[in-house]
Structures are given as structure tokens and as C-alpha cells.
Amino acid sequence: MAEYTLPDLPYDYAALEPHISARIMELHHDKHHATYVKGANTALEQIAEARDSGNLANINKLEKDLAFNLGGHVNHSVFWTNLSPEGGEPEGGIKDAIDEQFGGLEKFQAQFTAVALGVQGSGWAVLGYDQTGGNLTTFQLFDQQGNIPFGVTPLLQLDVWEHAYYLDYQNVRADYIKAFWNIVNWKNVGERLDAARS
């Protein structure tokens, strides 16, 4: 069975400073993301053991563990590539889609910011492509895996778990979200949209 592996960051720990500190990036990638990868592999192993032994008493708990940890692995893998020291603005297909769906970048940013700001407890703000309707849409993602319907491909994700910003911004999540807009890798977001549409 395939094992999940921790991807390298596509830049140095300090590359996103001053918006996100090297210390946060190091802890977030090397400790938090690594723990989700390990948890997903452990859950897979335990599900295989349960199947082999025929003792399926814990199967639903194990599958919930898998969903949570695999969610954490997928979310962080998208998030790292959504960020770049260069920043910039959307161009091409992603720009057109944002203009059409949200009435422009400013309106999209206001909506996404409100989504991120309003996450209760731990979770994410997500811009996704809805395969069913062919629309761009925003969602809150609860914890690592809740509140997203099937058929939505993530394009842009912002981690608003406290571990993502507390060392730099303490309780002021709004400042972290504001800083995030300086380091969005719109090229990556656009490539994800092109892939989702093809």
C-alpha cells in the first residue's frame, strides 16, 4: 500500500517573511504537517490490520482518523504551493473566473477574508472549483475535513488554525489574513483551476 510522504517546502523557511516567520514555517511544516502524514499512514495500517484480523469494531473511528489526517496532509500540501515570496495578482483564466464569479479581485478578497475571519475554532478558508456547476466558490473547512461537498477541487486555501499564525500575530487573525494577500501564488492558483477544468 502506498505511504503518504511529507513534501518539501518549495522555498526556504524564511522566504515568506515578514508576512510569515521562519519559525512558524519550520514548526508548521516539520512538526504539524509531518504529524498529519504520520497519522494518515498509521490509520491506513490500522485499517489494514482490522480488515485482516476480521475485528472491525473500530473501523469507523479509524476511518475518521484517516479522514482527519489525510485532510491535514492534502490541505497543507495545497497551502504551501499557494504561497510565494513574489506575490502578485491573478492573470489569465483565474483572473477571468474571479471577475465573472465574484465581480473582481477586491470583492473576492473581501468574501474570502470574511470566510477566513469567521472560522470558529480550527479550520480553513477555501476557494474551490465546483466540478458539478463549473463555478468558483468559497467555503469554510472545519478542522481538516468537514463542510466541503464532494466534487469541489481546492484552488486556494488559507490555514486559520492558531498554529498557523499565533507566534507572529497572537490573537489578531485579521492581520494574518491581510498579510496573506501579499504572498498568494496566483500562478499556482491559476494552474490548479486549469487542471480542474480539463
33 a known binding residue? no
Q: How far is the CB of 80 from Mn ion (least distance, A)?
A: 10
143 a known binding residue? no
Q: How far is the CB of 36 from Mn ion (least distance, A)?
A: 8
**Cα separation, 18 vs 15, whole angstroms:** 9
Q: How far is the CB of 90 from Mn ion (least distance, A)?
A: 24
Residues making contact with Mn ion (CB under 5 A): 159, 161, 164
29 a known binding residue? no
Q: DSSP labels for 57-111?
A: TTHHHHHHHHHHHHHHHHHHHHHHHHB-TT-----HHHHHHHHHHHSSHHHHHHH
Residue (74 or 196) nearer to Mn ion, CB:
74
Q: How far is the CB of 160 from Mn ion (least distance, A)?
A: 9
Query: Whose CB is nearest to Mn ion?
Result: 159
Coil, strand, or helix at residue 159? Answer: strand
- Choose among 190, 194, 195: nearest CA to 94: 190
76 a known binding residue? yes
Is 67 exposed, middle or buried (CB count within 10 Å of its CB: 0-12, 13-18, 19+)?
Answer: middle
Residue (78 or 193) nearer to Mn ion, CB:
78
And the C-alpha cell for 67? 479522514
Annotation: binding site? 28, 76, 159, 163
Which residues participate in the annotated binding site for Mn(2+)?
28, 76, 159, 163
